[in-house]
Structure 1
């Protein structure tokens, strides 16, 4: 463990049996732009069993929509433009996020494009897997 790192007992990851293999709980961030929120709920519903083995955090509306649409437990942060993206970024920088699923709408102007770029930079800097669409999100889940 690097110097200055403290172990938070709430963040300890407990192995779980899933068939013949052991699954370690990971923390996954969920973000979706407005026109992609339905896609995120559909993705989470299709992968509900696997997502239920992990800790989920999401920006305001996305987290609430996923929880409501799937019954999964999602820790909701602030709405993206109101600081939720920054909260996810802080989790990345603090080593408390293992993967990010961020369904970006490539066809819409992004009013908080700076926040999106900051998340992309942090995820790259701290080397966490990021998925921007369903195909990569499935690959990230499989890798976890």
Structure 2
């Protein structure tokens, strides 16, 4: 599965803690992340991560394009709901695309844990059915 990992500045430490705790599960999948978040994951774990631009510079849109092309299977996005983000329209568009294309989305650690446990037990295998990427 292809999994996007994104975190706002105040949530980056939480995402590093999360990826460290679930490194074994995540290592079995192709990981993508926005700029700084991806570098922090690479520095803090042994995970391989394909990095996009930072969110404000278009990284959220790059992930959104993959969703629209059915090339992303899950998004874990640790959002900071208490801090205004300069690229909030991009964040909103990314979340909307997850809804439009039925992409499992977690915006906090609790939901992300449930998604990864479900992934581990095959509950997301429906993403592998039907016409998929070439």
Structure-2-length-normalised TM-score: 0.87
Higher relative CO (Cα under 8 Å, sequence separation at least 6) belongs to 2
Task: Report the counterpart of residue 30 of structure 1 in structure 2.
Answer: 5
Runs of 4+ in structure 1 off by over 6 angstroms are none
2:21, 2:110 → 1: CA distance? 13
Name the one with the larger helix percent: 2
Gaps of 5+ in 2: 120-134
Gaps of 5+ in 1: 1-25
Give the C-alpha shift of residue 81 in structure 1: 0.6
The answer on 1:134 being equivalent to 2:109 is: yes
Name the one with the larger strand percent: 1
Task: Report the counterpart of residue 116 of structure 1 in structure 2.
Answer: 91
Match of residue 76, structure 2, among 101, 106, 109: 101
Structure-1-length-normalised TM-score: 0.81
The answer on 1:66 being equivalent to 2:44 is: no
CA deviations over 1:14-67 (Å, ceiling 9, x no partner): xxxxxxxxxxxx000000000000100000000000000111000000011011
* Structure 2 SS opposite 1:72: coil
Task: Report the counterpart of residue 46 of structure 1 in structure 2.
Answer: 21
1:142, 1:94 → 2: CA distance? 26
Task: Report the counterpart of residue 79 of structure 1 in structure 2.
Answer: 54
Larger radius of gyration: 1
How many residues are treated as equivalent by the alignment?
119
Task: Report the counterpart of residue 90 of structure 1 in structure 2.
Answer: 65
